[in-house]
Amino acid sequence: MRLLALLLLLSLAQAQRLGVIGDWGADTPGRAQVAALLRHEHAQRPLTALLTVGDNFYPKGAVVETFLRELPPVPLYPAFGNHDAPRLWEQLRRFLLERPYYRLRVGGLEAFFLYSEDGLPAQRAWLEKALQASTAPLKVLLLHRPLYSSGLHGGSPTLRSLLEPLLRRHGVALVLAGHDHHYERLEVQGLLHVVTGGGGAGLYPTRPPVPWSRALAVAHHALFLEVRPEGLLGYALDPGGRLLDRFLIPTRP
């Protein structure tokens, strides 16, 4: 038992812990509650960074510094959505980015951010080269519009046809998106997709779950990812700290 406890502590010590939020930058009680959840979780066990799946500031993308100050004091790496598009230049400048698509390495995980609102063919060419060059055992794609979703917007056939063959060919483990304001985990031919659009904007009802849906909740929430030696642990919590979903993606040999 002592050895098992020691191994568990060593695993946690090696883990990189990320928070993920989407559709969050709205002046609502939900946003404030999710920000409080993130601060609480960071105090319990520090987060390495925060990632977003877009719609960072409602309604038209103007940066609101007070919203950012309510988040834990860790680096924030955003994707950008349709509500960010009118002031995209302002957000790029604020987050010190030259363009709205880029890559980020965190321990054994590499995250690839795409801008789903414009210029996708060129971004696909960039993504293919970036995936080919990646040595990370865990690869994750972040973008605003989901490939699959049971929400009101639903999944994008255009994104599926453009990206799915590439993601499968290069062993991408997880696709994170927002746009639909709920939480959902889906599995399509072994590839996990998570819609995490409950960061604070008004929640949307969902349609009947699509066949690939494995977990669904209409609730404000944050998603947490732990990059461990054995794989990628993901779990979603609502503002009260209740577990909405949990999954593990083993590291490929």
| Residue 6 predicted with pLDDT over 80 | no
Does residue 235 lie in a domain region?
yes
Does residue 4 lie in a domain region?
no
Q: What is the mean pLDDT of residues 8-36?
A: 84
Q: What is the mean pLDDT of residues 59-79?
A: 98
Q: Which of 247, 234, 223, 179 is CA-nearest to residue 38?
A: 223
Does residue 149 lie in a domain region?
yes
Q: What is the CATH number of the domain that holds 204?
A: 3.60.21.10
Strands 191-196 and 183-188: antiparallel
pLDDT score for 5? 37
The total number of structural domains in the chain stands at: 1
pLDDT score for 251? 82
Does residue 88 lie in a domain region?
yes
Whether the CB-CB separation of 37 and 239 falls below 8 Å is answered with: yes
Q: Which of 113, 70, 131, 68 is CA-nearest to residue 94?
A: 68
Q: Give the rounded percent of residues in the chain with a pLDDT score beyond 70.
A: 94
Q: What would the pLDDT profile of 38-64 be if each residue is shown by its tens digit?
A: 999 999 999 999 999 999 999 999 999
Does residue 6 lie in a domain region?
no
The model's confidence at residue 14, banded by pLDDT at 50, 70 and 90, is: low
pTM, two decimal places:
0.94
User: Three-state SS across 17-59?
Assistant: EEEEECCCCCCCHHHHHHHHHHHHHHHHCCCCEEEECCCCCCC
Does residue 230 lie in a domain region?
yes
Q: What would the pLDDT profile of 199-226 be if each residue is shown by its tens digit?
A: 999 999 999 999 999 999 999 999 999 9
Whether the CB-CB separation of 64 and 72 falls below 8 Å is answered with: no
Q: What would the pLDDT profile of 134-174 be if each residue is shown by its tens digit?
A: 999 999 999 999 999 999 999 999 999 999 999 999 999 99
Could you give the residue ranges of the DSSP H alpha helices within the chain? 2-14, 29-44, 65-69, 88-94, 120-133, 157-169
Q: Which residues pair with 187 in a beta bridge?
A: 192
Compute the radius of gyration of the chain from its Cα atoms: 17
Q: Which of 210, 194, 177 is CA-nearest to residue 249?
A: 194
In sequence order, which residues have a C-beta less than 8 Å from that of residue 239 and are 6 or more positions away?
A: 30, 33, 34, 36, 37, 220, 221
- DSSP letter at 181 equals S
| Residue 1 predicted with pLDDT over 80 | no
Does residue 3 lie in a domain region?
no
Q: Which of 200, 177, 208, 210 is CA-nearest to residue 70?
A: 200
Does residue 123 lie in a domain region?
yes
Q: What would the pLDDT profile of 220-240 be if each residue is shown by its tens digit?
A: 999 999 999 889 999 999 999
CA-to-CA distance for 112 and 172, rounded, in angstroms? 10
Domain carrying residue 35: 14-250
| Residue 119 predicted with pLDDT over 60 | yes
Which residue would you say has higher pLDDT here, 14 or 134?
134
Q: Which of 50, 224, 226 is CA-nearest to residue 138?
A: 226
